[in-house]
């Protein structure tokens, strides 16, 4: 390999990894909810979209300072996911899993329809004050927003890992995830932890929405990132926080490599194709993911 080839590979890897960390952050929202409540949230991408709209409107129309707009998006998403759990999902407790899935799919469709109905479908800018000067890492250079996104994602993973390993509430939440009945017998208010899990998913979605919306521009297409969540969590394991991180990185890098090396031959599109091919392969050989809990069910 010539040094130019190596440089190209490096650029693809760095770029893929930074995008992968964003996927991981958004997948984290999905994993937190699944881990604690067993609910599969098909509206994760729409959560992200909603947050990006909130931030873009607060900045553009409200004229708020950036930090206030971000905090507003976080507060809104906490409230939204909290309310969603309370109003829509709690009555479905104990119902078949498919009921929750359908409820979130319906919600997703409604949320995607909301912006065109209310404020129009045009793309809005969500400028964050991070400059335009690309950040150079050897032969690779990244847009600053991607660097910020990667840093935020890493910080969140560190924080959540600490929370679940060390904090009392985190340990209790793992207990709820492990066995709801027994957690109840320990005097743990299971519903409260469900609400907390959703609120945490809201926070993650809000940050993801601000970053992703800033990268792409804010319109309903922001929600498409929700589709990336599935290969990420299938790869990493639906209930594994570390798995979301590794899964995100793998998917980001695979996408980037596919786009860099295969697209020139097939004329494009492998970026969207490769993650799902990988997902199907994983499902065939390791259906519980790389780090997921292997559930053995007695029949």
Partner 1 sequence: MTEASVSSARGAPAAKIVLDIADVSKKFGGVTAVENVAMTVPEGRILSVIGPNGAGKTSLLNMISGFYKPDTGSIRLRGDDITSKRPSEIAALGIARTFQNIALFSGLTVLDNLMLGRHVHMKSGVLASALYWGWARKEEIAHRQRCEEIIEFLKLQDLRKQQTAALAYGLRKRVELGRALALEPKILLLDEPMGGMNQEEKEDMARFILDVNQERGVTVVLIEHDMGVVMDISDQVVVLDRGRRIGGGTPDEVQRDPRVIQAYLGTSKGAAAA
Contact between 224 and partner 1 (CB under 8 A)?
no
Q: Please identify which residue in the block is written with the tokens 């690779």.
A: 140
Residue 134's region, left for phi above 0, alpha for psi from -120 to 50, else beta, is beta
Total residues at the site for partner 1 (CB under 8 A)? Answer: 21
Cβ-proximal residues to 55 (8 Å cutoff; 6+ apart), any chain: 69, 70, 72, 73, 126, 206, 209, 210, 213, 218
Contact between 159 and partner 1 (CB under 8 A)?
no
Residues in the chain: 299
Closest-CA residue to 244 (of 31, 16, 13): 31
Contact between 61 and partner 1 (CB under 8 A)?
no
- The stretch among 76-84, 179-187, 221-229, 274-282 that binds partner 1 (CB under 8 A) is 179-187
- The stretch among 62-70, 83-91, 116-124, 168-176 that binds partner 1 (CB under 8 A) is 168-176
CB 124 within 8 A of CB 228: no
Q: Give the CA distances from residue 60 to residues 55, 96, 110, 241, in Å, rounded to whole numbers and listed in that order.
A: 8, 43, 24, 34
Contact between 168 and partner 1 (CB under 8 A)?
yes
Contact between 281 and partner 1 (CB under 8 A)?
no
User: Residue from 6, 102, 155, 186 that binds partner 1 (CB under 8 A)?
Assistant: 186
Q: Which residue, 3 or 181, has its beta carbon nearer to partner 1? A: 181
- Does an H or E element contain 161, and which? helix 144-166
- Does an H or E element contain 290, and which? none
User: Residue from 185, 284, 296, 299 that binds partner 1 (CB under 8 A)?
Assistant: 185
Contact between 197 and partner 1 (CB under 8 A)?
no
- The stretch among 21-29, 123-131, 184-192, 265-273 that binds partner 1 (CB under 8 A) is 184-192
- The stretch among 26-34, 64-72, 182-190, 215-223 that binds partner 1 (CB under 8 A) is 182-190
Question: Residue 241 Cβ, how far from partner 1 at the closest point, in Å?
Answer: 12
Q: Which residue, 172 or 229, has its beta carbon nearer to partner 1? A: 172
Contact between 175 and partner 1 (CB under 8 A)?
yes
Residue 286's region, left for phi above 0, alpha for psi from -120 to 50, else beta, is beta
Q: Which residue, 95 or 165, has its beta carbon nearer to partner 1? A: 165
User: Residue from 61, 184, 280, 281 that binds partner 1 (CB under 8 A)?
Assistant: 184
User: Residue from 63, 94, 120, 187 that binds partner 1 (CB under 8 A)?
Assistant: 187
Question: Residue 191 Cβ, how far from partner 1 at the closest point, in Å?
Answer: 9
**At residue 218, what are phi and psi to the nearest 5 degrees?**
-95, 115
CB 15 within 8 A of CB 223: no
Cβ-proximal residues to 121 (8 Å cutoff; 6+ apart), any chain: 115, 219, 220
**Residues at the interface with partner 1 (CB under 8 A):** 167-169, 171-172, 174-175, 178-179, 181-190, 196, 293
């Amino acid at each position: 390999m010539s040094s130019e080839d190596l440089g190209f590979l490096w650029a693809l890897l760095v770029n893929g990894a930074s995008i992968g960390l964003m996927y991981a952050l958004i997948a984290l929202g999905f994993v937190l909810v699944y881990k604690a409540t067993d609910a599969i949230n098909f509206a994760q991408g729409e959560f992200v979209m909603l947050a990006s709209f909130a931030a873009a409107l607060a900045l553009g129309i409200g004229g708020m300072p950036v930090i206030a707009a971000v905090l507003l998006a976080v507060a809104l998403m906490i409230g939204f996911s909290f309310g969603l759990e309370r109003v829509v999902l709690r009555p479905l407790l104990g119902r078949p899993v498919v009921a929750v899935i359908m409820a979130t799919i319906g919600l997703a469709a409604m949320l995607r329809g909301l912006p065109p109905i209310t404020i129009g479908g045009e793309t809005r800018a969500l400028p964050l004050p991070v400059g335009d000067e690309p950040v150079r890492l050897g032969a690779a250079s990244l847009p600053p927003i991607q660097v910020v996104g990667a840093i935020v994602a890493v910080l969140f993973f560190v924080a959540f890992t600490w929370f679940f390993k060390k904090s009392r509430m985190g340990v209790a939440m793992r207990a709820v995830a492990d066995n709801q009945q027994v957690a109840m017998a320990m005097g743990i208010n299971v519903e409260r932890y469900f609400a907390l899990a959703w609120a945490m998913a809201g926070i993650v979605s809000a940050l993801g929405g601000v970053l992703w919306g800033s990268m792409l521009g804010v319109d309903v297409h922001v929600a498409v990132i929700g589709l990336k969540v599935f290969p990420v969590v299938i790869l990493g394991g639906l209930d594994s926080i570390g798995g979301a991180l590794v899964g995100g990185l793998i998917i980001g890098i695979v996408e980037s490599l596919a786009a860099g090396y295969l697209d020139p031959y097939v004329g494009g599109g492998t970026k969207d194709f490769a993650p799902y091919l990988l997902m199907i392969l994983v499902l065939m050989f390791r259906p519980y993911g790389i780090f997921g809990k292997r559930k053995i069910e007695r029949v």
